[in-house]
Structure 1
Amino acid sequence: MRRLRTTITLAAAAAATALVLTACAPTAVDGSRGGDASGDAGSDVEPTTLSLVGFAVPKAGNDAAQELWGETEDGQGVTWETSYGASGDQSRAVADGLEADYVHFSLEGDVTRLVDAGLVAEDWNAGENNGIVSQSVVVLVVREGNPKNIQSWEDIVQPGVEIVTPNPGSSGSARWNILAGWGSVIANGGSEEDATEYLRKFFTNAVALPGSGRDATTAFTSGTGDVLLSYENEAILARQNGETFDYVVPDQTLLIENPAAVTVDADPKAQSYLDFVLTPEGQEAFAHVGFRPLTGDVDFEVEGANDPSDPFPTVPTLLTIADDFGGWSATNDTFFGDEGLVTKIQAETGKQ
């Protein structure tokens, strides 16, 4: 396996700097998208343009993987048009007509929406990885030096602690965060009633509910709140780009699994890119910007991690949607539907 070049890592981090510090909104259906070049088309290579629509968080990973894939035979001559924003908003935009060859979302439901619309094949998740291409864990991002000594999920719902997390109405990242908090109560022996009361305290302490995970990071780095609920990779990437906050990996947290798929009318090269992302080299590209690789442990340092030589520590109690919540179909209805628990608590607390 070719080692991921340092230049790739630095380029991906630099490209993501503006996104860490600036909100990223979904692109309009009129096609006014940003472009990322991948590969140098020679005179004997027919140029191809692929459209990627995704949630904001994995942009740096995709940028790095696209550059490496651009060096392969299939990737040569490919130019990328990309649109990044909040996962739910991006999924709805594709369903409404935004062109996409390859989609990369936060939640399974954002892909199944496109299956229902006839835009993605029903067997999109039939492979060994069940459609998952990137993974991380929910962490607690705190101010430098951790002045409030936040170490656990219980600490963030104490009086006077200000929470920043994206809004579950638009952001898949938010749903992972909220379920991680709920799950920590159950994992510690609490009842569902205890977990429900936990969420009431959680939303009472929420001082900002931005539209996406990336917007939440921007709010926190701009000075809002005491603790940011985030993907581990978001914390690592921000530190790679010069942010000075700390982050805590709780003893109980949730494994974040992000799906990707090609659309039914996609150029065949889109499938080639998806296949590449799942290779050890593709996963290494994502690992260098903070994602936990699907292919196992890493044997290289990851800048920005708490311990670069051991960037992805084992979590004592790692919850999953499948094993601990019964899958996304039931979970979405129970927690985030019109009559869902979280929906009701947001209304009760005025944090919608």
Structure 2
Amino acid sequence: MLRPSLNNILAIKTHDLLSIRIVVNLSKNIEEGIPLRRNFPLRNLNLLSSKQFTVKIKLYSDGGQLVYENIYSTNDFGELNIKIPTEQLPFNNSISRIQVYEISYMKDLEILLGSFLLDHPHLLRNILITDFDKTLAETSSQNPKAIWGSLTSPITDYPTILPTLNLIKGYLKDAYTPFIVSSSPHFYESSIRDWLYQHEIFNAHILLKDYRQMISFKGDYLKFKDVLAHGFYKLDHLLNIIFMTNIPDHLVLFGDNYDVDHIIYLVFAQIMMNNADPWSIWKNVKDNPYFKLTSKQDSIFLENLYQVSNLLKKHNKLPDIKIYIRKTKKQTDWSALPTSVNLSDFEINYIN
């Protein structure tokens, strides 16, 4: 029997804002499934289905008191993104736990999807954001055979990129909060989390590209061109992380030169370190071949740029940013770097 389950949750509370991102999908009850010894992405292709859900969110204090309750509808892909100003939350300083229920799938039944602790401001002063493919694992999708192999093999079958992994583990020992921002399809999440657990990374927030939006007429956030153009998706998630976590003291970015991480990270650093004019940044990337913004993406991107710019002005501080780029066999191509970004203004640490 299929039942609603929580595929992803991100719940972060700062002094000003509570940000919640959840993704709900239909899956089999665990006892009805075949025991999985090797978890690989093809087993999760059921996540290509889409459905709208109604969820109830409850927030609890440290002492277990219910302090907030509300009902929301997800989009057609089961995704919900909400931001609640903390001034609207009673006892906001004591809120520590969130419970999520699905209430529309079965009549008169509230299905508990999960109970989770919130990330709090003192945990968010040091942020680490990393790509996954070719940054942490030497995966391959160069041709149909390689893509099929990727779908039908656990990620642990691919070589681990130890220099990157060891550097990241060093930062995690220094209390950095990790985010995985990858263009891998969303149904790779379970396999990626298994890989992270096997390498003793237990608290990473995973953000992957939802391929349903690119092949559906219902989606307006991502379009089919975003299958290959990763710039908007990744940069928008980087800006959203900053907006959700506030301005960190230290921000470390890990990527590779195989695709566009080096371009995206420098545009992001230009925004964060120089508090660059949002309109100028937008004009420089909207027609860039790695971005190719649609009219809807124009408005989303500009709104997030202005939100982050206002945050930087409000806090009157700039984060310390360090960028690591793992060198693949591919030559690093800077030709698509927007003209507003000066390469010599930034220090890049290369990983061989």
TM tier, smaller: under 0.3
Higher RCO structure, 1 or 2 (CA under 8 Å, sep 6+)? 1
TM-score, structure 2 normalization: 0.24
Question: Which structure has the highest strand share of the two?
Answer: 2
